Structure 1
Amino acid sequence: MKTYFTFLNIYPLLRLGLAFNIFNATTERNDDLVVKHQQMNNSIDTLTIFSDVMNEFESLQNWSRLCNISQSSHTDFNIVCIINGESSIKLTEFRNFTYRVSSHIRFDLSVTCEDGIIYFPWPFRAEKLHRVYIKDCIIKVYKSDSKNPLIGRIPDTIKYLQMDNVTTILRMKEVYDSLSKAKSPISRATECGPENAFAIIRRGTKVEFEDFYNYHLYDINALAQSTHYFSIQKRTCLYKNLEVFELSGRNDITRSTISKIVHTDIAQNLKILNFSGDGMSDIVYKLQGWRLRFPVMEYLDFSNNHIKVIPKIRDYGMTVKKTKSVGIIDIRRNEITSLTKGMIDSFSTHEFVKVDISENPFLCDCGIIEVIEYLSSKTMPKAYDYLDSLECANPSNVRGRKLISLTPTELNCNKDTVVNFPVVVLIIITISLVIITLFTLIYFRNKIKVNLCSRLNKNVAT
């Protein structure tokens, strides 16, 4: 408790009673006064910060004309841009702006284009930039900072990055200059992007060349060398906060892009990994150690691709201590046509993983009878209740019907005519061995006859 005597010293002519009342009124806790003082200072700081930020932002002609800025909290600002027609904005200008404002500020940037262009070099580094959302834009100079050493000196502050339906326009020289070479590798910032992010989402992005007709002017073999130099760098990106990583709906995705996040980079807190709609046909097998690489993974999305075969996916269960929930591996809407008893049997061992194969174009022929009988008699984990709802895509007479409801008669299959594949294989092997044995005997029998005849003729002649 602290008492303020200065009040009576300043006003000595006040009557004693009045002074005593005021004296009591001013016996407040020191921390209460500090709080009030901070609140008053904060209000002054808010006015100062807002005024400074607005003045600096107004100096960016294109940005202030095409974007609206608002204050969402004491130190947080939202910038929303609509880029249309022949308008454009440059990230370099935004960098100069963020560099000049207070270090306590954070910016959330949202850019939507209507036939507009933005000049944003990857990895979109700018001080105090917290969130980035880009939609329907054409991006130029995307690779211009690939080997710029100064980019690594800009703090990596992006926590959320999302790009929807973005087209990157490249030039041959820009690509050639950005290739990883022996004495000039690409920067860590370029390779890893925002390593401190919680979510990195690139959805429906594509790449187009502005001057592909000039490809003959450059050494195409450098592309292969670039891949080699990129590989021997063995750089591991460390995403210590990353929970969502999505590369979906892309036409330009490569195996190396997928393999890097799956096999090289470290993302121990990753919960959602999304490669849906990327045109992949054989990538799932690379994730056999999925739970060991991503101990808290909840959702692996490979839907809407061209996967034809379901790999055997292990359930690592409690071998990973962080595992507490069922991890879903989504392989819906692919090109899986055959379903076997062995496949279903492997699912029956799953306790901490669910493989979703629904909405695939299953072929319901005589071979499916064994699966139907197995599903009818086997007790599956609750996560696989959906198997009872699987539907046929072919042949046309049973299209849309649930597998579990079909009978051998409807499939024109009697019990005796249902194909038992192991038996068929054994029969084929047996027949093949018999035929080979017969041909061998015939061959050697004829050879023996020829040898005997030649010997007999020789004896007769002598």
Structure 2
Amino acid sequence: MLIRRFILSSIASFALFHAYTCFVIDTYSEFDQKCQTNTFGDRNCSFLVPNNWNFLKFREWLEKTNEHIGDVSLDLTCMDGGTVFLPWPFRARTLRKIQVRNCLIDGYYSEFNVESKYPNTVKDMALIDVAILSDINQLIEMNLNDPLVKSSTCGQETNFRFIQRNVTFSFVPSKEVPSFDRLSEAFDSLAEKSKTQPFTCHFENLVYLEHTGSKSVSRIHFDTMTDHSVYPKLKVFNFSSNYLPTIPRQLTRWLKFFPSLRLLDLSNNEIREFSFEHPDVSQNSLYISLANNNITSVPADLPTYLNGKTPVLINLLGNPIHCDCRASVLSQYLKTLRRKAPQFKALSNVKCHSPRAFAGRKVRTVNFKLC
């Protein structure tokens, strides 16, 4: 009996050891197989995730690799139901590019407000069609009690391009649902900490920023974004399809917050009115898309938007323009736009939505002389 137990025990131990060894080997061999390396040591890693994938193991594999590693690119695409454990802000050895698509992200806040031993290296980051798994009570406690840390608050300051497209939040079931007062307290705490944070986020290289397809844009989103952050080179800012009802001051006064801005996309929102500064500074034109919003009338000074050294080109296509006498300034603007910027002449085809007598007519063809 004892011999039998010894044999069974030995077999079991061997099986466990073999299984563990195979797990480690298979895990690392998967990284080796999925990461294509060129002659410069750059690694292009692409994974199709059916179930679960762990960024920590990937980071450990990079760390333990003794050979030279150049730039690392990571592409994660999940099958339906696929989950990735991915702590913000995705730091790892020489990681330069990361794209995550169609995944449920777990562990997103697991390294939040913790100083990272890894430096900022990412230049191109994209989160597309992902859901971030969160514990609402944990987030409340974090906002109320944890100080802001530059490592997680700023994220990857080396970014050249940052895309957040159709990013949503999925909350784990909780027995204790927080009260409205508790939520408001946490919200106010975050706003206050953002205004008094003792550091500045320097996005010196950021040229393209996209935040689209969000149903939950906070009312302090632009305050936390700009209170202690600078974007000296940002040229393209896409903030379309976010149910935005009004234009925040940071965008109406774009030169102060985004001095190099050349394209601002606010299309497919719920904006009803607009006003933008048009400073007399020597820069290229600024293109602003307000297409497919709820704008019925335009500011009285709209024609002056094209007079300065930085012409402001406004796309108002797809808006329910009301063609009363106040629309005469829009007609004037569209005619001038067509003459001064013929490459954008399609923008001059804005149509009247009302009154019924003018519905469907191009605004610039309406006779406003009687006004």
**Pairing 1:206-245 to 2, within 5 Å after superposition:** 206-212=168-174, 214-216=176-178, 219-220=182-183, 221-245=185-209
Cα shift at 1:113: 0.9
Match in the other structure for 1:406: 366
- CA distance, structure 1, for counterparts of residue 234 and residue 301 of structure 2: 28
Which residue among 308, 314, 320 is the counterpart of 1:362? 320
Q: Which entry has the higher C-alpha Rg, 1 or 2? A: 1
**Counterpart check, 1:165 vs 2:129:** yes
- CA distance, structure 1, for counterparts of residue 46 and residue 73 of structure 2: 8
For structure 1, which segment, 378-387 or 157-166, has the greater mean C-alpha deviation from structure 2 after superposition?
378-387
Deviations 1:307-352 (A, max 9, x none): 111214223422xxxx3x2221222221111146x24322242432
**Counterpart check, 1:351 vs 2:316:** no
**Unpaired segments ≥5 residues, structure 1:** 1-56, 409-413, 419-462
- CA distance, structure 1, for counterparts of residue 327 and residue 238 of structure 2: 34
The secondary structure found in structure 1 opposite 2:216 is coil
- CA distance, structure 1, for counterparts of residue 315 and residue 269 of structure 2: 12
Q: 1:174 to 1:224 in 2, by over 3 A?
A: same
The secondary structure found in structure 2 opposite 1:215 is coil
Which residue among 61, 66, 83 is the counterpart of 1:97? 61
Q: 1:230 to 1:180 in 2, by over 3 A?
A: farther
- Alpha carbons 2:114, 2:152 under 8 Å: kept: no
Tell me the number of residue pairs that the alignment of Structure 1 and Structure 2 aligns: 344
- Alpha carbons 1:62, 1:88 under 8 Å: kept: no
Structure having greater relative contact order (Cα 8 Å, sep ≥ 6):
2
Match in the other structure for 2:290: 331
**Counterpart check, 1:283 vs 2:238:** no
The secondary structure found in structure 2 opposite 1:194 is coil
Q: Which amino acid aligns with 2:161?
A: A
Q: 1:270 to 1:393 in 2, by over 3 A?
A: same
Q: Which amino acid aligns with 1:276?
A: S
- CA distance, structure 2, for counterparts of residue 373 and residue 117 of structure 1: 52
- CA distance, structure 2, for counterparts of residue 351 and residue 204 of structure 1: 36
The secondary structure found in structure 1 opposite 2:43 is strand
- CA distance, structure 2, for counterparts of residue 66 and residue 103 of structure 1: 14
Cα shift at 1:234: 4.4
**Counterpart check, 1:266 vs 2:230:** yes
**Counterpart check, 1:246 vs 2:210:** yes
Match in the other structure for 1:123: 89
Match in the other structure for 2:17: none
TM normalised by structure 1 equals 0.66
**Counterpart check, 1:393 vs 2:358:** no
Q: Which amino acid aligns with 1:367?
A: C
**Pairing 1:69-148 to 2, within 5 Å after superposition:** 69-84=35-50, 87-101=51-65, 102=67, 104-115=69-80, 116-148=82-114
Q: 1:128 to 1:402 in 2, by over 3 A?
A: same
Q: 1:364 to 1:228 in 2, by over 3 A?
A: closer
Q: Which runs of 4+ in 1 moved over 6 A?
A: 376-381
Percent of aligned positions with the same letter in both sequences?
A: 21
Deviations 1:347-400 (A, max 9, x none): 242432323232142334432563477469868761374564211223445433
TM normalised by structure 2 equals 0.81
Q: 1:295 to 1:73 in 2, by over 3 A?
A: farther
- Alpha carbons 1:363, 1:395 under 8 Å: kept: no
Match in the other structure for 1:190: 152
**Counterpart check, 1:307 vs 2:307:** no
Deviations 1:221-279 (A, max 9, x none): 34433432333224310112111122111122224332333453112121112211111
CA RMSD of aligned residues (A): 3.1
Cα shift at 1:193: 1.1
- Alpha carbons 1:291, 1:316 under 8 Å: kept: no
Deviations 1:35-64 (A, max 9, x none): xxxxxxxxxxxxxxxxxxxxxx97352881
